[in-house]
C-alpha cells in the first residue's frame, strides 16, 4: 500500500535536492493532498506488492536516493532494511534533508535503544503533518522490507515531491509541466506522462542538453537506439551532474521495466530538476561575479593609465625645471639671444601640450573617482608623489622657475647690450689716446738741450710748456678711459682681462709721460739762462691752437659717440643737447679765425722782415692745415649726427606704435577672458534646465573659446616683435603677455573642468537612476544653504587673482546640517557625525556639491556589495568556504577566471584540499583599499 504506480515513485527522489534549497510558502501542500495522494498510490501498488523484481528495483532506487543525501554527512547505506534498523542513520538522513536538528539518539545496542531511535525519527516525520499508516518502529527494527520502503517513500513525499509546484499545480503535475516546457523545442520528444514518453531516452537527453549543451550533442542521437540514449543520459548525469546511477551498469534488464516504473522515472527527473536549478543559480552567481570583476578590471586600467600619465608629466616637469632654474649667463649678446629664442620655443611649442595633459589628467582622475563611488568601491589613492596635489605643486614650481627665467634673460640681454656699448666706447677713447701718446716718450727722453744754443734752449722750453698744456688737457681722457674700464669690471664684461691690460698700459704710459715731462722741465729750467724770448705770436698761436685743437677732437668724439635709448623722451634729450652744441659753433668758428689770424700775422711779419715763408712754429706741432681739416670734419659730422638722431627718433616712434598695437589687443582680450569666466560660472550654477542643457551651453562656450585662439596667437606674434625690438615697458596697458597667458590657460582649464563636472553629474545621475527633477531638487537645496562666494574673476593688474562672487559650491557644517533637516532627516549627533565622515572624510569642515550629490544618491541607490559577491562565489563553490581552480575555470569566462586565480589568496581553513582559494578574502578586498 506504500508503493505508487511504478511510473511516479522512481522519479521523485531526483527532485528532492532542489526542494531542500528552494522552499517557499507557495509550494507547501496540505495533509489532505498528501492523504489523497497516498490513497492513490495504494491503489497503484496493489498489483506489484508480490513482485520480487519490483521490490528489488525499489530497493536500488531508494538506496541510491538515501545515499545521495547521506554522503553529505560522510556516510552511506548498503542494505536499506538492515542499515536503518538501529535508527541512527535514519535520524541522520532526516537531519540532512530537513536542515533541522533531531533529539539526541540513544547510543545503546539493545532492542529498546533501537526502537527509541526509530520512534524519534517517526515522531519527527509526524510533527511535519504526515500520517504514517501501519508503520511502526518495531517493523523497522525487525527489518520489514515493505514497511521500510514505505517509510522511505513517505519521507520522499514529504520532503521532496510535495514541494514541487509549477503554476499552482500538484506535485506530479508540476514536475510533468516543467519537463514539457523544457523539452518542447526538441525533435522526437513529446512528454505526455511518466510512462512511455521516456522509454527511448531522448527526453532525458533533451533535459540535460537544455541546461548543459556542452555535455552532449543532441543532433547526433538516434531515436532507434533507446539503450544507448539511456546509458548516455545516466552516465552524464552521474559524471557531471552528481546524480547517482539508480540502475545496474548493465541497464538492459532494468530498462525493460522503466516503461512500467514511474518511480524510476520521477526519481531521475527530480534529481535532474535539482541539478538544473543549481546550474541556474551558478549561472546567476557567475554573471554577478563577472559584472563585479569587469568593473574592477576597468577601474584598474584607468588607475594604471593615470599612473602612467602622471609619471610622464612629473618626469617632464623634473627635466624642465632645472633648465629654467639655470642662471648661468653667456658671454655674448648672440648667445643670450639664442637662449631667449629657446625659451620662446618652449612657451609656444613644448608647454601648451603639457597644459592640456595636466588638465586631462585631472579630468581622468575625477572621472575615475566618480566611477569608483558609483560602483561602491573605495577612492583611488595614487602612488606616493603622484597625487593631483603633487602634480599641481610641481607645476607651480615649474611656472615660478619659468617666470624668473624670462626676467633673468631680459636683464642679462640689457646688461650685455650695455657692456658692448661701453667696450666700444673704451676702444675708441683708448685708440685716440694711444695715437696721441705715440712717440711722446721718445721726444721727452731726448737730450737735445745739451748741445743747443741759448735761442734753441729757449725755444725748447716754450715747446715744452706747450706740451705740458696739451698733457693737462688729456688728463680727463685718461680718467674717462679708467672709469669705463672700471664699469666694465663691475658689469663682468667677458673680455675684461684685455680691457684691464690695455687700461693699465695707458695709465702706466701716462704716469711715465708725467715723470718724463717733469724731468725735462727741470732740465730746461736749469738751462733757462740759455733761453731767448720767442716770437710772442708763435707762442700765442701754440697756446690757443692746442686747446682749440683739443676741443675739436673732443667734439669729433662726441659727434661720433654711440648712444642707446629706449624712449622718445630720451632721444629728444639727446637732440636738445646736440642743438646746444650747434649753438656753440659760431663762437668756436670765431676762435678758429683768431688762431688763423695769428698765423697770418706771423706770415705777414716774416714777409715784412724778410723771414723765409716756410717758417715752422717751434712752439707747436699743430699746423693751420690740421686745424682746417679738423674743422671741416667737425662741420661734416654735425649733419651726420642730426641724421642719426632723427633716425633713432623714427625707430622710437616705431616702438611706440608696437606698444600701442599690443596694448589695444590686450585691453580687448583681457576683459573678454573675464567675461567668458563669468559666463562659465553662471552656466555651472543654473538650476532650471537639465544637465544636458548646461552641457550644451558649456560646449557652445568651449567652441567660442577655441575659435578665439587665433587672437592669442596674433598677440604672441606682436609680443615677439616687441621683444625682438628690445622694448621692455608699455605704459598704455596694465596687461602683460604673462597675464594674458595665465588667464588663457586658466580659462581653458576652467571650461574643461566645468564640462567634466557636468559629465560627472550626468554619469552619477544615470548610474544611480536619479531623475532630472531629483537632481534639480538636490541642487536647489544645496544652493539655498551655500554661503560661500566663488566665481573666478580675473584681475590682471599686476597679476591674475581669484576673487569671489556668486556661489562657491560648498557648505560649512552648520549649513549642511540645516540642509539635511530641510530635506526631512531626523539628525542626532551620532548620526550626523556618521554622515560627516562620508561627505567630509578629511575633516575640512566643508561639504562640496559633488560630495553632497554622492551622499544623496547613496541614500537611494542599490549597489553591489562584498556580501553579495561572497554569496555568489558560495553558490559556485557548492556551499564550501573555499573554491577550486577548476571550478573557477568551469563557471567563469577564461579572462575573468584567470583574473580571480591570479589575485585570490590560498584558503587557510581546516580540511581544504591543496590549491583551495579563499573567495571571501578576495571579495572583501574588492571593496577595500586599492593596491595602486
**Long-range contacts from 652-660, C-beta under 8 angstroms, 24+ separation:** 652/565, 652/566, 652/567, 652/568, 652/570, 652/571, 653/568, 654/725, 655/566, 655/722, 655/725, 655/727, 656/568, 658/718, 658/721, 658/722, 658/725, 658/727, 659/722, 659/727, 659/730, 659/731, 659/732, 660/732
Tell me, what's the pLDDT at 318?
A: 92
- Could you tell me if residue 674 is inside a domain? no
Question: What DSSP designation does 913 have?
Answer: P
Mean pLDDT calculated for residue range 102-116: 89
Mean pLDDT, the chain, integer:
79
- Inter-residue contact 333 to 409 (CB < 8 Å): no
Q: Which of 198-207, 282-291, 396-405, 602-611 has the lowest mean pLDDT?
A: 602-611
Highest average pLDDT, of 177-186, 230-239, 687-696, 905-914, comes from 905-914
pLDDT over 80 (residue 258): no
Same domain? For 373 and 244 the reply is no
Domain termination site, one of 354, 388, 417: 417
Burial group, residue 453, by CB count within 10 angstroms (0-12, 13-18, 19+): exposed
Question: What DSSP designation does 380 have?
Answer: P
pLDDT over 60 (residue 27): no
168: how many CB neighbours lie within 10 A of its CB? 9
State yes or no: cis peptide before 110, omega within 30 of 0: no
- Could you tell me if residue 828 is inside a domain? yes
Tell me, what's the pLDDT at 786?
A: 63
Question: What DSSP designation does 735 have?
Answer: -
Could you read off the pLDDT of 828-854 as tens digits, one per residue? Answer: 788 888 888 888 888 888 888 778 877
Between 849 and 88, name the one with better pLDDT: 88
* DSSP track, 854-908: HHHHHHH-----HHHHHHHHHHHTTT-SSB-HHHHHHHS-HHHHHHHHHHPPBP-
Tell me, what's the pLDDT at 532?
A: 42
Mean pLDDT calculated for residue range 645-649: 87
Q: Which of 255, 160, 377 is nearest to 863 (CA)?
A: 377
Burial group, residue 167, by CB count within 10 angstroms (0-12, 13-18, 19+): exposed
**Considering just the CA atoms, what is the radius of gyration of the chain in Å?**
56
- CATH code where residue 337 lies: 1.20.58.60
826 confidence band (pLDDT: 50, 70, 90): low
Tell me, what's the pLDDT at 531?
A: 34
- Could you tell me if residue 472 is inside a domain? yes
Tell me, what's the pLDDT at 249?
A: 45
Strands 800-803 and 810-812: unpaired
451 confidence band (pLDDT: 50, 70, 90): low
Domain termination site, one of 417, 452, 482: 417
CA atoms of 522 and 525, how far apart (whole Å)? 5
Distances (CA, A) of 166 to 345, 577, 659: 79, 116, 91
Same domain? For 411 and 429 the reply is no
Could you read off the pLDDT of 141-163 as tens digits, one per residue? Answer: 998 988 888 888 888 777 765 55
The total number of residues written for the chain in this structure: 932
CA atoms of 536 and 542, how far apart (whole Å)? 10
Between 883 and 799, name the one with better pLDDT: 883
- Inter-residue contact 171 to 19 (CB < 8 Å): no
List, in sequence order, every residue forming a beta bridge with 846; answer none if it has no partner. Answer: 812
Tell me, what's the pLDDT at 929?
A: 47
Strands 810-812 and 846-848: antiparallel
Tell me, what's the pLDDT at 667?
A: 94
- Inter-residue contact 85 to 91 (CB < 8 Å): no
Task: Convert 17-60 into a string of H (helix), E (strand) and C (coil).
Answer: HHHHHCCCHHHCCCHHHHHHHHHHHHHHHHHHCCCHHHHHHHHH
Tell me, what's the pLDDT at 818?
A: 82
Count of CA atoms in the C-beta half-sphere (13 A) of 517: 18
* DSSP track, 513-564: HHHHHHHHHHHHHHTGGG--PPPHHHHHHHHHHHHHHHHHHHHHHHHH----
- Inter-residue contact 47 to 4 (CB < 8 Å): no
- Could you tell me if residue 797 is inside a domain? yes
CA atoms of 88 and 106, how far apart (whole Å)? 9
Same domain? For 59 and 146 the reply is yes
356: how many CB neighbours lie within 10 A of its CB? 14
Between 609 and 852, name the one with better pLDDT: 852
Q: Which of 221, 228, 264 is nearest to 245 (CA)?
A: 264
CA atoms of 230 and 251, how far apart (whole Å)? 8
pLDDT over 60 (residue 308): yes
Same domain? For 133 and 273 the reply is yes
| Nearest-10 Cα torsion for 139, 143, 147, 150 | 140
528 confidence band (pLDDT: 50, 70, 90): low
Could you read off the pLDDT of 370-417 as tens digits, one per residue? Answer: 888 888 888 888 988 889 899 999 999 988 988 888 888 888 788 787
Same domain? For 445 and 397 the reply is no
Could you read off the pLDDT of 544-603 as tens digits, one per residue? Answer: 888 989 998 888 888 888 878 778 888 888 889 888 888 988 998 998 999 888 878 777
Write out the residue range of the structural domain in which residue 374 sits.
288-417
Q: Which of 359, 420, 354 is nearest to 388 (CA)?
A: 359
Same domain? For 389 and 353 the reply is yes
Same domain? For 274 and 303 the reply is no
C-alpha cell at 823: 530635506
CA-based torsion, 235, 241, 244, 247: positive or negative: negative
C-alpha cell at 848: 562640496
Domain termination site, one of 811, 843, 875: 843
At 846, which helix (H) or strand (E)?
strand 846-848
Tell me, what's the pLDDT at 605?
A: 64
If DSSP codes are grouped into helix, strand and coil, which group holds residue 619?
Answer: coil
CA atoms of 63 and 72, how far apart (whole Å)? 15
676 Cβ neighbours under 8 A, 6+ residues apart: 701, 704, 705, 747, 751
CA atoms of 898 and 643, how far apart (whole Å)? 87
- Could you tell me if residue 603 is inside a domain? no
C-alpha cell at 915: 590549491
If DSSP codes are grouped into helix, strand and coil, which group holds residue 793?
Answer: strand
- Could you tell me if residue 366 is inside a domain? yes
616: how many CB neighbours lie within 10 A of its CB? 9
CA atoms of 110 and 115, how far apart (whole Å)? 9
- Inter-residue contact 70 to 92 (CB < 8 Å): yes
318: how many CB neighbours lie within 10 A of its CB? 11
C-alpha cell at 179: 519537463
Same domain? For 379 and 427 the reply is no
Same domain? For 273 and 136 the reply is yes
> Euclidean distance between the first and final Cα of the chain, in Å?
70
470 Cβ neighbours under 8 A, 6+ residues apart: 546, 550
751 confidence band (pLDDT: 50, 70, 90): very high
The residue with cell 717733469 is 518
- Inter-residue contact 796 to 739 (CB < 8 Å): yes
pLDDT over 50 (residue 802): no
Distance of CA 12 to the CA centre of its chain: 62
Same domain? For 357 and 335 the reply is yes
Same domain? For 393 and 427 the reply is no
386: how many CB neighbours lie within 10 A of its CB? 19
- CATH code where residue 886 lies: 1.10.238.10
Same domain? For 473 and 400 the reply is no
Between 429 and 775, name the one with better pLDDT: 429
| Nearest-10 Cα torsion for 135, 137, 138, 143 | 80
pLDDT over 90 (residue 316): yes
Structural domain count of the chain: 5
Amino acid at each position: 500500500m506504500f508503493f505508487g504506480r511504478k511510473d511516479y515513485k522512481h522519479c521523485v527522489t531526483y527532485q528532492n535536492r532542489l526542494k531542500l534549497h528552494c522552499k517557499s510558502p507557495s509550494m507547501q501542500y496540505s495533509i489532505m493532498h498528501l492523504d489523497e495522494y497516498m490513497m492513490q498510490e495504494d491503489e497503484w501498488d496493489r498489483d506489484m506488492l508480490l513482485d520480487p523484481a519490483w521490490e528489488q528495483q525499489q530497493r536500488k532506487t531508494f538506496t541510491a536516493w538515501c545515499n545521495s543525501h547521506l554522503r553529505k554527512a560522510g556516510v552511506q547505506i548498503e542494505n536499506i532494511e538492515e542499515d536503518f534498523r538501529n535508527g541512527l542513520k535514519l535520524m541522520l538522513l532526516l537531519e540532512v534533508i530537513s536542515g533541522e536538528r533531531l533529539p539526541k539518539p540513544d547510543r545503546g545496542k539493545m532492542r529498546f535503544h533501537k526502537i527509541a531511535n526509530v520512534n524519534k525519527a517517526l515522531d519527527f516525520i509526524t510533527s511535519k503533518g504526515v500520517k504514517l499508516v501501519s508503520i511502526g518502529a518495531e517493523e523497522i527494527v525487525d527489518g520489514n522490507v515493505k514497511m521500510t520502503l514505505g517509510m522511505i517513500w513517505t519521507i520522499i513525499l514529504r520532503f521532496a515531491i510535495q514541494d514541487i509546484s509549477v503554476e499552482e499545480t500538484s506535485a506530479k503535475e508540476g514536475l510533468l509541466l516543467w519537463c514539457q516546457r523544457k523539452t518542447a523545442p526538441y525533435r522526437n520528444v513529446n512528454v505526455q506522462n511518466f510512462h512511455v514518453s521516456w522509454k527511448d531516452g531522448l527526453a532525458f537527453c533533451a533535459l540535460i542538453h537544455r541546461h548543459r549543451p556542452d555535455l552532449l550533442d543532441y543532433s547526433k542521437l538516434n531515436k532507434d537506439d533507446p539503450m544507448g540514449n539511456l546509458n548516455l543520459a545516466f552516465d552524464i548525469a552521474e559524471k557531471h551532474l552528481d546524480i547517482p546511477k539508480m540502475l545496474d551498469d548493465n541497464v538492459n534488464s532494468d530498462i525493460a521495466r522503466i516503461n512500467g516504473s514511474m518511480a524510476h522515472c520521477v526519481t531521475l527527473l527530480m534529481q535532474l530538476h535539482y541539478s538544473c536549478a543549481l546550474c541556474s543559480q551558478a549561472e546567476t552567481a557567475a554573471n554577478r561575479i563577472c559584472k563585479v570583476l569587469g568593473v574592477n578590471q576597468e577601474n584598474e586600467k584607468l588607475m594604471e593609465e593615470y599612473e602612467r600619465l602622471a609619471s610622464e608629466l612629473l618626469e617632464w616637469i623634473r627635466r624642465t625645471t632645472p633648465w629654467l632654474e639655470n642662471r648661468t649667463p653667456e658671454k655674448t649678446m648672440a648667445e643670450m639671444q639664442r637662449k631667449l629664442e629657446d625659451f620662446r620655443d618652449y612657451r609656444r611649442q613644448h608647454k601648451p601640450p603639457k597644459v592640456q595633459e595636466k588638465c586631462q589628467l585631472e579630468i581622468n582622475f575625477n572621472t575615475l573617482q566618480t566611477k569608483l563611488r558609483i560602483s561602491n568601491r573605495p577612492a583611488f589613492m595614487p602612488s606616493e608623489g603622484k597625487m593631483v596635489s603633487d602634480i599641481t605643486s610641481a607645476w607651480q614650481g615649474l611656472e615660478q622657475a619659468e617666470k624668473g627665467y624670462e626676467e633673468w634673460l631680459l636683464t642679462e640681454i640689457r646688461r650685455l647690450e650695455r657692456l658692448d656699448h661701453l667696450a666700444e666706447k673704451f676702444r675708441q677713447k683708448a685708440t685716440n689716446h694711444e695715437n696721441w701718446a705715440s712717440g711722446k716718450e721718445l721726444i721727452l727722453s731726448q737730450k737735445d738741450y745739451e748741445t743747443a744754443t741759448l735761442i734753441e734752449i729757449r725755444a725748447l722750453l716754450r715747446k715744452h710748456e706747450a706740451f705740458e698744456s696739451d698733457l693737462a688737457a688729456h688728463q680727463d681722457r685718461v680718467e674717462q678711459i679708467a672709469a669705463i674700464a672700471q664699469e666694465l669690471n663691475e658689469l663682468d664684461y667677458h673680455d675684461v682681462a684685455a680691457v684691464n691690460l690695455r687700461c693699465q698700459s695707458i695709465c702706466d704710459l701716462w704716469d711715465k709721460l708725467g715723470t718724463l715731462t717733469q724731468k725735462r722741465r727741470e732740465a730746461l729750467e736749469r738751462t733757462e739762462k740759455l733761453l731767448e724770448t720767442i716770437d710772442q705770436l708763435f707762442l700765442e698761436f701754440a697756446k690757443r691752437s692746442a686747446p682749440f685743437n683739443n676741443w675739436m677732437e673732443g667734439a669729433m668724439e662726441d659727434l661720433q659717440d654711440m648712444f642707446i635709448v629706449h624712449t622718445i623722451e630720451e632721444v629728444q634729450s639727446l637732440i636738445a643737447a646736440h642743438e646746444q652744441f650747434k649753438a656753440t659753433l659760431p663762437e668756436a668758428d670765431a676762435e678758429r679765425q683768431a688762431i688763423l689770424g695769428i698765423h697770418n700775422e706771423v706770415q705777414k711779419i716774416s714777409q715784412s722782415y724778410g723771414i723765409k715763408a716756410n717758417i715752422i712754429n717751434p712752439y707747436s706741432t699743430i699746423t693751420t692745415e690740421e686745424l682746417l681739416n679738423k674743422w671741416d670734419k667737425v662741420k661734416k659730422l654735425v649733419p651726420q649726427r642730426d641724421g642719426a638722431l632723427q633716425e633713432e627718433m623714427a625707430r622710437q616712434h616705431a616702438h611706440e606704435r608696437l606698444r600701442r598695437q599690443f596694448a589695444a589687443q590686450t585691453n580687448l582680450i583681457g576683459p573678454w577672458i573675464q567675461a567668458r569666466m563669468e559666463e562659465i560660472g553662471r552656466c555651472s550654477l543654473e538650476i532650471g534646465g537639465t544637465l544636458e542643457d548646461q552641457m550644451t551651453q558649456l560646449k557652445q562656450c568651449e567652441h567660442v573659446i577655441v575659435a578665439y585662439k587665433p587672437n592669442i596667437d596674433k598677440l604672441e606674434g606682436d609680443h615677439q616683435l616687441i621683444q625682438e625690438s628690445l622694448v621692455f615697458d608699455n605704459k598704455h596697458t596694465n596687461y602683460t603677455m604673462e597675464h594674458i597667458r595665465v588667464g588663457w590657460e586658466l580659462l581653458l582649464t576652467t571650461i574643461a573642468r566645468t564640462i567634466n563636472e557636468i559629465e560627472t553629474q550626468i554619469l552619477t545621475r544615470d548610474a544611480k537612476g536619479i531623475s532630472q527633477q531629483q537632481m534639480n531638487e538636490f541642487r536647489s537645496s544645496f544652493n539655498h544653504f551655500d554661503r560661500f562666494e566663488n566665481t573666478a574673476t580675473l584681475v590682471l593688474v599686476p597679476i591674475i587673482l581669484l576673487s569671489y562672487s556668486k556661489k562657491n559650491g560648498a557648505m560649512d557644517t552648520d549649513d549642511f546640517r540645516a540642509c539635511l533637516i530641510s530635506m526631512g532627516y531626523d539628525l542626532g549627533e551620532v548620526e550626523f557625525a556618521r554622515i560627516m565622515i562620508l561627505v567630509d572624510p578629511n575633516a575640512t569642515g566643508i561639504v562640496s556639491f559633488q560630495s553632497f550629490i554622492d551622499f544623496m544618491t547613496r541614500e537611494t541607490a542599490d549597489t553591489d556589495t562584498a556580501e553579495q559577491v561572497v554569496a555568489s562565489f558560495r553558490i559556485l563553490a557548492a556551499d564550501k568556504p573555499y573554491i577550486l581552480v577548476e571550478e573557477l575555470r568551469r563557471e567563469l569566462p577564461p579572462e575573468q577566471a584567470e583574473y580571480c586565480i591570479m589575485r585570490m589568496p590560498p584558503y587557510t581553513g581546516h580540511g581544504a584540499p591543496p590549491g583551495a582559494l579563499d573567495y571571501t578574502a578576495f571579495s572583501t578586498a574588492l571593496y577595500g583599499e586599492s593596491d595602486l
